[in-house]
Amino acid sequence: MSARKQPGAHARSATRAAHRDPSRGRTPGAHTLPSEQRDFVEWHRGRPQFALWAVALADPAVDARLEQLRAALQPLLLPGYRREAHVTVQLCGFPVDRPQAADEFGPDQLQAQLAALERLRLPPFELQIGGAFSFSAAACLAVRDPSRSLRRLRAALARPGAFDPPARYVPHVTAGLYGGAWPMRAVRARLRPLTALPEITVTVSELAWMSYATAVVGGPLCTLRRCALQAAGDACAAQRRTRGG
């Protein structure tokens, strides 16, 4: 199988493929959208970190399933994807002391989100991690949210006008980004044995504020703060920068 030749993907398509418009996820085009492993200075403009809220999935069964998916798609995936298993809940932006642009995120905005989480007082909930599917740019595991808790969290953390696209939110766990414009029919054929795997139940008891280095596509996450669900305001504790969830 050979990749269709295309120009290099622009900054958004490569560095934010895992957070791509989910409305394209279930109906991708004829070919995958390739990512590149390079520093997209034109996107981050010297801002070293990008922040987001996510559910960290420290679960051996989920990790094993992700490895199974990656093995099925080798060598179609972009090398170097090292992001830990997680479900993105809401994008924040580039963390800075004094935001000047819509894609920047400051201390006041973080405090407002922490206050919103405290008011929400969402109890722990369960997610069901399912089989494989593909966005145009990324191979993923499906996520089912029976209690609709992710949507409640997204609503509490929303920043209108920033990273709040009108498209339908599709929770997922990214396994990797595509390294070429591969025929989607061939990708589906590789994924077909993994689409109907039994669901893995994961209990979610906290939300994590995380960041990743903008100079590295698919680099590891750093946990900056953890917020226990249905807890008092002091449950959102600042953490020493650590990789992973």
pLDDT digits (tens, 9 = 90+) for 135-175: 999 999 999 999 999 999 999 999 766 655 556 789 999 99
Name the pTM for this structure. Answer: 0.85
CA distance 231 to 144: 24
Q: Is 233 helix (H, G, I), strand (E, B) or coil?
A: helix
Q: How far is CA 212 from CA 41, 82, 109, 192, 209, in A?
A: 15, 11, 19, 31, 11
Contact 176, 218 (CB under 8 A): yes
pLDDT at site 167: 65
CA distance 4 to 68: 26
The two three-digit tokens of residue 108, written as one number: 């006041």
125-134 and 138-144 strand pairing = antiparallel
Contact 60, 84 (CB under 8 A): no
101-105, 122-126, 153-157, 240-244: the lowest-pLDDT one: 240-244
56-70, 90-104, 151-165: the lowest-pLDDT one: 151-165
Please state the rounded mean pLDDT for residues 118-126: 96
Does CATH place domain 11-243 in 3.90.1140.10?
yes
pLDDT at site 25: 46
